[in-house]
Each structure stands twice: as structure tokens, then as C-alpha cells.
Chain A
């Protein structure tokens, strides 16, 4: 049950970063996009609010950089940030020329205000910016005839003697293990927020690549920084974009109080970490609506014409998933796990880094990568930007690299091992159920590794995760077939989710401070000792956490 295909480049993930890289490679190299479902279903499609670019006369890339680094609590690598913000205007013009229908005002591309930004610089398409960008890039990638391998799940990344040889995938449609030989591989698989019980993410965002590379001993960077978006619909966790607050939406507690006034002078347009903490604090202090675990996001004072024009998707989401008419009722919201600042350690050229030595031919871009451009907390509108800028860079770098090397062949042994592994999971008999382990993990992360963390909770989490991993070994699948076995896929996913959870917990334990999205109730302040990135990797059966310097070129924190 094996197959082999050969390409110059294989891109894992058909979201914005993957598609943008493919566009760069197409026509010059033989490239295939591997998607767990289909590129159009990627999590990128759900992004609502906007993509940042300094374009107006009273804005500059320097201001954009300053806003980004301040929001990131100075944990951003400033050389990477500079690349990000300087590439912004070109990225917008390019996407516009490719067909993306940005909203206009007076003939120009409209830009809206987002949290913690000094100037309105988020370019948007109503509140469906992600959909517009994703569909446009998919259209252009289709035009170039790039091969799409959909319903392909990543099983392993093969590196031999420091050279990436390609990947092993499961073709879900027929259960075959397929070796994709390649000169270069781009990981563009998105983040790990789906690990949490309440999340805005697609159900396919199960951190497969992070899990696989972590198990292979590669370092993951800043994993403890999980962004909780303050306004996820209750109870689903579906995103209600920051845009709603940008257009005048306010947050109120049980007393009808705009509680942000007690937390941050920027009110509802503070950074996401500040607002999530405030909302969570209100809930924990019993000021949630009717003492429930949510507060209200009130859009009733916004002109209904503005809602229809700029927030139509939000209006529909509130109606369909919460039964609320936003023009005359408030929406029940609470923090939802939304974005991963942490991920696969890469450099500015999108190359994946190791602890020592180098790996050639392995790249990562988009949310799955950690350069870091976002530091300890991401600005709204910078994630879509990251995918476009670093997706393009990855594509360019891979094109150059491809002309220097020959395609390797993935060894028979690796292929055999993967087949054995998949077979073992299918054939195993056991009493544990996938769903119990998955739900326990999600609830554990929500309670102990959520908005507020402490030593006791993290320690407990570490132990539970160990036990969950052992229990996973005793799961017996009902579906033992080859064709479209989604139960098998979910077993593979769960293994990755457990391993990535371990990485988050260990790095959260090791960071004894509160910075950005990482909040320790037992260490409530920032500490200069931790003005460093965290790196976590496995070595000889042990988990190792190290801290290393941040690249600071132009901006320094106060004190």
C-alpha cells in the first residue's frame, strides 16, 4: 500500500502562506500542494478583519514596526519585523492586481482601525478578508496549473544527513502511504489553537507538522504564547472579529459597565492579550452576564448601514450561531484560543532552524512558523500580512535552492516504517476511546494552560498529558478500513496534539513572568530576565527548554 511521487518542491498546507509560495515556484519548478482537505477549506478562509499595510500619508513602515514590537512586548525579532512591514504595501498591491476585491472608500483601498495601532492601516474586504485573499490566491495558483494533492495527511518529514528529502503522507482516499520525493519542502500548516476546548480554529488545525518535527528533535520556539482572541461567540468559540470593536462595538459586564476602563486606557482597542485578560478577570470575579462565563459585546449603537456594509459576516454569524440580531441585542462572548505566536523556529529566509548545525531544503512560513515577527502577542492584521510576505520569501528561497540540488529519494526503510506505524494504529485493539482523550486534553488546556496559568496548574497539566499519551496507545479504532478512514486520521492528529501540548506546558512552566499572551498569576509582572525567546526540543527522551536572545535592532523597551 505505497506510492511514490517526485517534485522539485512540496508545500504542506494550502492556506495563504502555502499558496503564495506556490505562486512563486510555479512555472519555474515542479511543485505540488499537499492539503489535509482542500486549499479552499484552509483556516485562512475564516480570517475576517484585515491585513495591515502602511500606505496612507500619515503612516510609515517605522510606525507599523513600532506598533508591532510594542504589542509583542519586545519579544519580536526586529530584523524579521522590518522585513514584514516593509513588504506590506507591495503585498497589498499584488493581491489587488491578482483580483482581490478590497473594500474601497473614495476610490482608494479602505483601511480600518485595529487594536493597539496608531494609525488605521488594516486593508479589508468587508469582514471577509481571509476569504477574499485565499480565493484570489487559489485562483491564481489554479491558473498556473499547480498540482493539488487534496485529502493528503502529513505523516513524516524525511531529513537524511541534514538534507530534506521530502515527506511521507497518507492518501486518505485509499489509505495508501505515499512518499513525495522533493528537493525542498515548505511547511505551511497553520497553528495549534484547536488544542483548546474553546477555539476559533478549523477542526483540521491539529498541529500535525509541529508535532512531527518536535518528535524529530527540531526546536519549537515561543510555544507558550497562545493568543486568546477576546471575543469568541459563546459557546462555540467562533470568531467575532476585532473589526466589530474597531467600528464601535463595546464590551460590558453584568453591571452594564464598560469594564475596560478599569484595565486599559485604550479601552476596547487595546491589545488582544490585555482585553482577553480583562474579560477573563471579569468572568472569574463573578461579573460575567448573570454570573455566566461570558460578557457582552454590544454593537447596537453602530449604524445599521455600517453593519450591513462592513460587518455583514459578523451579523450573519451572530444570527446563525447565537440567535442574536446585532442591531438590537448584545452578543455573548468570551476568550477563544485563536492564534499561535509560537511554532517551528525559522529565520528570515523561511529556513527551518536546528539547535546545532543546519538543515537544507526545509522551510516554514505562516502561522506554523516562529521567526518571530509577533513576539509575545500578535497585532490584528499582521497574521494575514505574514502569510503573504513570508510565503513569497519562502517561494523565492526554495526556487533558488532547487536549482542547486538534485532530488533525493526517500529511503525504503522510512516508507516501510510509516506503513507499519499506520497499520499498527488501525489494527490495535483497546478499550480507550479517541474522543475521551481528545476532550480531556482540550479541557485540561482550557483550564490549566489558558489565559491565566500558574505553577500548580501547569505541573498538573504536565502529568495529565503524560498519562493521556499512554492512554492513546490503548485506543482501538472502530474503522479499520483503507478508504477515507477519518478515525485513523483523528488518531494521528491526537498524537500530534498531545505532543504539542507538552511543548506548550513545559515552556509555560519555564517562563516565570507575565508577558503578552502568557500570563502567570504567580508571576504577574514582566521580568528582564525573560526578555528572551524560549526553545523547546526533545533530546534522548528528555524535554529540554532553553532561552535565547531576541534580535533588537531599532527599538528598546522602557527600563
Chain B
């Protein structure tokens, strides 16, 4: 079987004005992982190829990178899973593209700077805030299960690589940090849940657009976006307000009253006086014929719509 072609992102700040891609042809067998490919290239072909090495067993979180644009752990990603049929891929001269994580500053080749991630993490006070009682904590299996494996996070940063919000919003703490906040909010021993929820709120919690690339990327099946949704609910329950919370509340309110969104009142209720900032856009909209209904009437299927909403909830409805 012919070797498989890898196109690898290279960038040496000491030599290169700009990053470029270099192609390598590597012999692959069943079970060969991306880490093994990088190792082979560095050992036999190009000693300058730079990447992080670690445990090799998907628990230390150091080797995350992108393979064909998707953030994965290099040590656990088998080439046959990337290309499908190895024989076919080599015959077709398929190319496997390897890049460093996105949304991060490249230090060299496939190594990114992690400072931004660690600094954001620190902002979340990612440590238990509880008394040292000197006795084993009162904690049940149910308490631990309620954290829904948030504690499994290995800080590989893969979740942030594909996150659209993380890309554009510097104030967004990110999926990794939100997950950590969730872990501590759910720990019954922690004394500062409210503060943590506030911090999440202030840290762009409601800027999550539910693109779910974090769920796709997480090698530990943590589903960070679901944790973010849960933090939304917990925040509302805790009486925290903010644009996001108000938006969600008004959403539900509209569905209960009329069965549809009250698009006229939404911006006002969500943003208060901030809505004045939208006047130029609103004028543009109206001039193009996009005018929301001023008077909202109950639609015919309102009862059915509300029934669907009730079915999707697993606790009693949010009151205003």
C-alpha cells in the first residue's frame, strides 16, 4: 500500500514570515495514530517538526490539534478513522491536513500558546470554596452524578478551537471554563455558587450560540454546551438578570400568551433603553418591508405550542 500524504502546518517565527503547509508521505498501518505519524516524521524525515508529546493515552490533554479542520486528540486519532479505507485513500492520493488548534496563538508549528486558556480558567476561581472540615465530606453518588462528568475535563482546549463565539468575543470565558464553573456550582459543598453564576453571566454565558462544535470536539463526552444551557437555567433560578436571561424569559412568556414570539416587544424587554441603539437598523428593516406585528394576537394553535413547551421542560416553568 502506498504511503498516505499529510499536509502539515509549519511556522517557525525565527525563520518564516508566514505559515505554510509542508507535505509528507508516510507509511501507515492499521492502528497508526496522528501522534505516531508526527513522531515518525520528526524521527526520520524532519527533526524540526514541532508538536507536544504526552501520555499517549488521552488523559493528559496536551496533544489536541486539528485534523482535516476538526479538533481532536492526536494520540487517539487513527488515520484509518480519518480517511475511511486506508487502501482507497492511498490509491486516491487523499491528503490529510494537520493544523494546530484554532482560536489560539501559534508558538511554532503545531504548538499553541496556552496562556490565554489558563488565564481565563483562573478567572472562574476553579477551586472548591468550602471549609476544611477534617472529616470526609457528606457527598453521595447522586451528588457526584449531578455533575455529569464535568470533572472529566482534561483541559485539552479542543472545545474552544471550533467555537464561533470564542473566536469573536474576547470576553467569552469559553466552554472549558463554563464547564468548570458548572462543576463547582453543582458541588453541594461549594459556598459561592451565586458568585460563580454571576461570573458566568458576566463572562458571556448568554453569548453561546449553540453551534455545538464543543460537543463535537470534546474527547471526554462532556457536552459543554449542555452545561452552558444548565447554567442558563440555574442563573435564572438564582434571580440573575441580564440580556440573555431576559431574552429567554420573554421568549417563554410570548409562547404562553400568544403561541408566538412578540418580536415587537422582545428588544425592548431584553435590552431596555439599550434598544435605542437598534433604531438605525430598525429603520433599515422597515424600509425593506420587514415590519413586526405591532399587536400580537393569540394564534390558533397556541395551546398545542404551549403543550410542546411543557413537554420539553423537566421542571416547572419560569415565572417572571
Docked Cα-Cα span, A487 to B111, in Å, equals 14
B226 to chain A, nearest CB (A): 19
List the count of A-B residue pairs having beta carbons below 8 Å apart.
143
**Interface bits B38-52 vs A (CB < 8 Å: 1, else 0):** 000011101110111
Give the residue of A41, A43, A239, A484 whose beta carbon is less than 8 angstroms from that of B61: A41
A241 to chain B, nearest CB (A): 12
A487: chain B residues within 8 A (beta carbon) = 42, 47-48
A96: chain B residues within 8 A (beta carbon) = 136-137
**Interface bits A480-505 vs B (CB < 8 Å: 1, else 0):** 01111111000000000000000000
CB within 8 Å of B: which of A342-392?
none
**Interface bits A413-457 vs B (CB < 8 Å: 1, else 0):** 000000000000000000001110000000000000000000000
Size class of the A contact interface (CB-based, 8 Å): 35 or more
Is B312 an interface residue, CB under 8 A from the partner? no
Is A238 an interface residue, CB under 8 A from the partner? yes
B35 to chain A, nearest CB (A): 9
Give the residue of A203, A313, A478, A479 whose beta carbon is less than 8 angstroms from that of B54: A203
Docked Cα-Cα span, A236 to B58, in Å, equals 13
Is A265 an interface residue, CB under 8 A from the partner? no
Let me know if B152 and A93 touch, CB within 8 A. no
Is A477 an interface residue, CB under 8 A from the partner? yes
Docked Cα-Cα span, A478 to B46, in Å, equals 7
A321: chain B residues within 8 A (beta carbon) = 57, 76
Let me know if A482 and B114 touch, CB within 8 A. no
Give the residue of A140, A143, A317 whose beta carbon is less than 8 angstroms from that of B57: A317
Is B240 an interface residue, CB under 8 A from the partner? no
**Interface bits A460-490 vs B (CB < 8 Å: 1, else 0):** 0000000000000000011101111111000
Let me know if B126 and A483 touch, CB within 8 A. no
Let me know if B57 and A239 touch, CB within 8 A. yes
Give the residue of B12, B58, B62, B107 whose beta carbon is less than 8 angstroms from that of A38: B62
Residue of B nearest to A316 (CB): B58
Is A97 an interface residue, CB under 8 A from the partner? yes
B53: chain A residues within 8 A (beta carbon) = 203-204, 486
**Interface bits B13-33 vs A (CB < 8 Å: 1, else 0):** 111000000000000000100
Docked Cα-Cα span, A128 to B54, in Å, equals 17
Q: How many positions in chain B have a CB within 8 Å of any CB in the partner chain?
A: 56
Docked Cα-Cα span, A108 to B140, in Å, equals 8
Is B151 an interface residue, CB under 8 A from the partner? yes
Let me know if B48 and A479 touch, CB within 8 A. yes
Give the residue of A93, A139, A478, A485 whose beta carbon is less than 8 angstroms from that of B136: A93
Give the residue of A99, A173, A202 whose beta carbon is less than 8 angstroms from that of B107: A173
CB within 8 Å of B: which of A59-114?
92-94, 96-99, 101, 103-105, 107-109
Let me know if A236 and B47 touch, CB within 8 A. no
Docked Cα-Cα span, A449 to B61, in Å, equals 31
Is B56 an interface residue, CB under 8 A from the partner? yes
Is A131 an interface residue, CB under 8 A from the partner? yes
B47: chain A residues within 8 A (beta carbon) = 434, 477-479, 487
Is B211 an interface residue, CB under 8 A from the partner? no
Docked Cα-Cα span, A516 to B155, in Å, equals 38
Docked Cα-Cα span, A486 to B76, in Å, equals 21
Is B59 an interface residue, CB under 8 A from the partner? yes
Is B279 an interface residue, CB under 8 A from the partner? no
Let me know if B61 and A104 touch, CB within 8 A. no
Let me know if B50 and A486 touch, CB within 8 A. yes
Docked Cα-Cα span, A483 to B15, in Å, equals 10
B188 to chain A, nearest CB (A): 12
Residue of B nearest to A313 (CB): B59
Docked Cα-Cα span, A498 to B87, in Å, equals 40
Residue of B nearest to A323 (CB): B31
Docked Cα-Cα span, A98 to B46, in Å, equals 45
**Interface bits A230-263 vs B (CB < 8 Å: 1, else 0):** 0000011011000000000000000000000000
Q: List 10 A-B contacts (CB under 8 A).
A: A43-B55, A45-B59, A99-B187, A136-B128, A142-B126, A202-B54, A204-B53, A235-B31, A320-B76, A433-B43
Q: Which 10 A-B pairs have the closest CB atoms?
A: A478-B47, A99-B128, A435-B43, A139-B127, A479-B48, A143-B127, A203-B53, A484-B108, A41-B60, A238-B57
